[in-house]
Amino acid sequence: LTGAAFAQLGDGQGLAEGAVGPGVGMAVVSGRDPRFNGAPFINQIHLNINGGPASPKADGWITYGIPVVAGLMYRDSIEIDELKHPLEVRRLALIPGTGGAGRFRGAPSAEIEFGIKSDAMTVMYPGDGQEEPPKGVRGGLDGARAERFVIRKNGESTKLTNAARIELAPGDAVRGIDCSGGGYGSPLERDPERVLDDVLERYETEERAADVYGVIFDSYPVRDGSKVDARATDEKRRALATI
């Protein structure tokens, strides 16, 4: 909020809004570990991402965490967490096309899903960000909201509240999507070469490159060796600017 407020002073000031709420990737997990004769365990995992806000000079930091962490956290190794606790991380990945678009874009959201390798596990997490997305500033677009679910063995999926305590049984899993960061400045002002890099690195999608950033490439699907079509990009951006 403070960074976004400073952005109102003028271009080059402040920040967009970053992600809020640790989510299931920073849950406290507890139970009994069958690998160690049912010994009790309790610990907090640190596998979340939470996208950082764009600034006047740089894209958002991917492993932002939350505002008071601001990218300085030590994230866990998946393999070490699986050794220390009877859990199985099924998926941990960035989600293309989720960062708040802008002259500088917010960091993308990430998805995490993990199940258990024990008879039961309690998962408790704090959270936020499921109602309002992190705001973009100075023409930048908002980031993406968080989402959290428990998925039962039979495939039934239930949306969770911001903060929750969940009891998992064998075959169950929890799934979380982190907030992404908001963008800074108009997406139509982003350097087209940076948009090309974003698509190649899978931070952005081809569709958003065209429809949000107004950048057209000389070949599709975009691959190494693809180039920005400068004339088509200029035409597309002029068209989007009038909408």
User: What does the pLDDT profile of the chain (243 residues) look like in tens digits?
Assistant: 899 999 999 999 999 999 988 899 999 999 999 999 999 999 999 998 899 999 999 999 999 988 888 888 888 999 999 999 999 999 999 999 999 999 999 999 999 999 999 999 999 998 899 999 999 999 999 999 999 999 999 999 999 999 999 999 999 999 999 999 999 999 999 999 999 999 999 999 999 999 999 999 999 999 999 999 999 999 999 999 998
Same domain? For 72 and 146 the reply is yes
Domain count, the chain: 2
How many degrees, rounded to 5, is the angle at CA 1 between CA 209 and CA 25? 70
Same domain? For 82 and 10 the reply is yes
Same domain? For 31 and 138 the reply is yes
Question: 114: Cβ–Cβ under 8 A, 6 or more apart, which residues?
Answer: 24, 47, 87, 88, 89, 90, 173, 174
User: pTM here?
Assistant: 0.94
Same domain? For 205 and 132 the reply is no
Residue 183 lies in a domain: no
Same domain? For 47 and 153 the reply is yes
Same domain? For 16 and 89 the reply is yes
End-to-end C-alpha distance for the chain, whole angstroms: 29
Residue 109 lies in a domain: yes
Per the structure, the complete domain to which residue 200 belongs is given by: 191-241
Nearest to 16 by CA among 187, 184, 146: 184
Q: Which amino acid is at 240?
A: L
Same domain? For 51 and 148 the reply is yes
Residue 184 lies in a domain: no
Same domain? For 141 and 199 the reply is no
Residue 195 lies in a domain: yes
Residue 50 lies in a domain: yes
Burial class (CB in 10 A: 0-12, 13-18, 19+), 193: exposed
Question: 6: Cβ–Cβ under 8 A, 6 or more apart, which residues?
Answer: 13, 14, 15
With residue 80 as reference, give the H or E element that holds it: helix 78-84
